[in-house]
Structure formats: structure tokens, C-alpha cells
Amino acid sequence: MTDRPDPRVHVVWAPEMLSYDFGHGHPMTSERLDLTIRLAESLGVLDGARLVGAEPASDELLLTVHDADYVAAVRAASERGTPDPARGLGTDDDPVFPHMHEAAARVASGSVDAALAVWRGEVEHAVNVAGGLHHAMPGAASGFCVYNDAAIAIHALLDAGARRVAYVDVDAHHGDGVQAVFWDDPRVLTVSLHETGRHLFPGTGFSNETGGPRAEGSAVNIALPSGTGDTGWLRAIDAVVPAVLRAFEPDVLVTQHGCDAHALDPLTDLRVSVDGLRLAAERLHGLAHELAGGRWVALGGGGYAVLDVVPRVWTHLVAIAAHRPVDPATPVPESWRTFVRDRYGRSGPATMSDGTTPAVRAWSAGYDPGDDLDRAVRATRAAAFPSLGLDPELD
């Protein structure tokens, strides 16, 4: 790796990235990406960024994570419209669409290229808002995800020489696919902060899920009570994420920034604001600099409040990665709001903030046994910390 990376952020983007789209009425619309890039451009966030498209990943690359039979089934679904419900293809969550294989493989390739650009020292940070498809399993599509670009990118980093890769997932849904791929691999730490699986898909991600027999402590899960808002959400991050990352000492930090924890999201029951999500991205950015020499790969993920939430949250993410942070009080450019009015018949948000200033109540301030959030956090610390050499009561 070179000692002096190009300061520009690597942003995976080309119009072809919009082809990953399950069709009209499906929550995983590519309009989320289009609106994000338009907003980032209108705010000047992409000025000086290195915008890089992607070609579909080769089968060789996909097979580092996915089963050969599954890749063949995706190709059949893509080319002939052949459903395979046993492999999650042709379901309500993952309906078959033309060129599905190429679209999903392009997302995977984009995340791999981003990760390797960071690892080679070409840039400090890289972002693929089309990525973060964290539910895809080695042998099945799941939860709007066909190929698991995050897991493929992490595998590529390991193949390139990274000794330890940390993955932090703040999507409202458990990052089950990435956890499954690296369940028994001590080189990868997976950390997922999500709404409890008792009430939300995929029904996993409990505190006692801590890794396989050869990698105990390599999976860390914070299952949040439904209804958790900014204060509890940020408190949970503070109580777990910095400590486990510092104990693990990663060479690279890969993060997934699904923004469906927002209060307006139609599929979840968390109550986080744009401002809280922005603060989490800032915190993870800081930890990448503190612990991984600045090597940070940030991915998108879920988020289904298409107009009001996703473009602002991911524009903040790209801006933070570009070292061009946007003041939350910044007005949303009128050109973008006009585009939204013309296309969707209503105005988008007026500023880059929800008008809140999230309070951060540090874990060190004390544990409340009567609080559901505190009990969930304590369960995670008790389950995961000892295997990482941490004291659940003190660290």
C-alpha cells in the first residue's frame, strides 16, 4: 500500500447502478439511489470525488461467497424468468426481474472495487450507496438482497492481505447474511445494531449469537427494543461499538448504513432521526481514523422513506466520507426540491436536518435495570465482551 492516498473519496456511481430494481411498488426502488446522487451533486458533495462505475462481477468473484448452484439459479431467473422459491428467487421480497444477475453482480463488483481502492491506498474512504445487501445468503436470496456485496468485499480484503476486517451494520434489520458467511472466521468481526428479531425480519440477531467455535466473540449483536429513538440508539452504539472495535484492532472498517431505523420508515418501528443517523456515520468515520489508519468502506442498505429520509442520510454519509460534511441546518437546494415536486407531486424536506439535536447519554453515566434499552445493551456486553478480553461491567 502507498503511504499517501489520494484525498478524494471513491464513490461507486454510474447510471447502470439503477438497474438493481425489483419493479414498481417494491420498497427496494432504485429511485432511492437516483435521489441521493442528485442531492449530493446539488450540494457540491461530489465535487472532487472519484466517481467510478462497475462492471458485473465475475462468477469467480461471486463464488468466493455464494454457492455455484445458487449463482446458476440467479442466472436462470435473470435470463429466462425462472423462479426458484427454494433459493429465495421469485418471492414477494425478491421477485425475478430481467437482468437480475447482471444488476446484482454489478453492485457486488462496485463494493469490491471500493474496498480494494481503500486497501491499496488509492483513497482513504469509499462509498457504495447501492451496496449493503446484507441479507443474501451463500445459497439464497433474502430480504431484497440477491448477492451479498458486503461479504464479497470483505472476502476480497482478506484475499488482498487484510488480517482483520471489522464490519458494523446499523440497518434496522439484522445483518444476518454477513454474520452467517463469517460466523466461524476469527479474522472478521461482525457487529449489528438492529430492531429486535422478536418483532422484525429476519428474526435473528440476539445477544447470544456470538460466533462459531473457532471464532467465539466475532459476532456482536445489539437487539434494540421497538420504539428506540435517538437517545437510546446512540447510547447503544456508545456502549458497545467503540470497545469491541478497539479490542479487535481492525485493519479496515466496513460499515453498512441502512437508514430504515428512521421514524418515518414504513417497514420498521425504530424512531431515529436523520440527525442521529448522521452522528452515527460521523462516529464510525472517526473510529476508522482512530483504529484502521482511516481505511473505511461505507455501504448503503435498507431505507424505504424514499423522498424524506434516504437521500439526506446518504448524502450526509458521502459528505462525511469526502471530508466535506454538510451542516444539518443547510437548506435542501431548491433545484432538488423542484425535481421532486415535478416527479412525485410533493415537496421534499426543507433542510438537511429533522430539526433535532440528539442527546447522547454515555454508557458510563450508569446502567438502569428498569430500562428495556439498557437491559438489551447489557445482555450484549455480557455475551460478547469476555471473548474479546473486555470486562462487561467496566469497559
pLDDT in tens, 71-114: 999 999 999 999 999 999 999 999 999 999 999 999 999 999 99
The C-alpha atoms of residue 358 and residue 318 are separated, in whole angstroms, by: 21
* pLDDT over threshold 50, residue 214: yes
pLDDT of residue 88: 98
The gap from C-alpha 44 to its chain's centroid, in whole angstroms, comes to: 23
pLDDT of residue 2: 40
Average pLDDT, the chain: 96
| Grid coordinates belonging to 235 | 447510547
pLDDT of residue 8: 78
**In the chain, where are the structural domains located?**
10-388
The C-alpha atoms of residue 32 and residue 29 are separated, in whole angstroms, by: 6
Model pTM?
0.97
pLDDT, average across residues 160-183: 98
Fold classification of 10-388 is Arginase; Chain A (3.40.800)
pLDDT, average across residues 210-236: 98
How large is the angle between the packed helices 31-42 and 310-321, nearest 10 degrees? 50
Give start and end residues of each alpha helix (H) in 130-200. 149-160, 176-181
Q: Which residues lie closer than 8 Å to 15 by C-beta, 6 or more apart?
A: none
* pLDDT over threshold 50, residue 290: yes
Q: How long is the chain?
A: 395
Own/partner pairs for 179-182, CB < 8 Å, 24+ apart? 179/204, 179/205, 179/209, 179/219, 179/221, 180/137, 180/138, 181/65, 181/138, 181/148, 181/151, 181/154, 181/155, 182/151, 182/154, 182/215, 182/218
The C-alpha atoms of residue 222 and residue 238 are separated, in whole angstroms, by: 12
Q: Closest by alpha carbon to 309, among 336, 339, 341, 275?
A: 275
Cell numbers 436470496 correspond to what residue?
141
Catalytic residue among 135, 155, 173, 174: 135
For the chain, strand residue ranges (E) read 10-12, 50-52, 125-128, 165-169, 188-195, 219-224, 252-256, 296-299
Q: Which residues pair with 221 in a beta bridge?
A: 192
Cell numbers 437517545 correspond to what residue?
231
Give start and end residues of each alpha helix (H) in 43-175. 59-62, 68-80, 100-119, 149-160
| 125 a catalytic residue | no
Q: How confident is the model at residue 6 (pLDDT cuts 50, 70, 90)?
A: low
pLDDT in tens, 298-356: 999 999 999 999 999 999 999 999 999 999 999 999 999 999 999 999 989 999 999 99
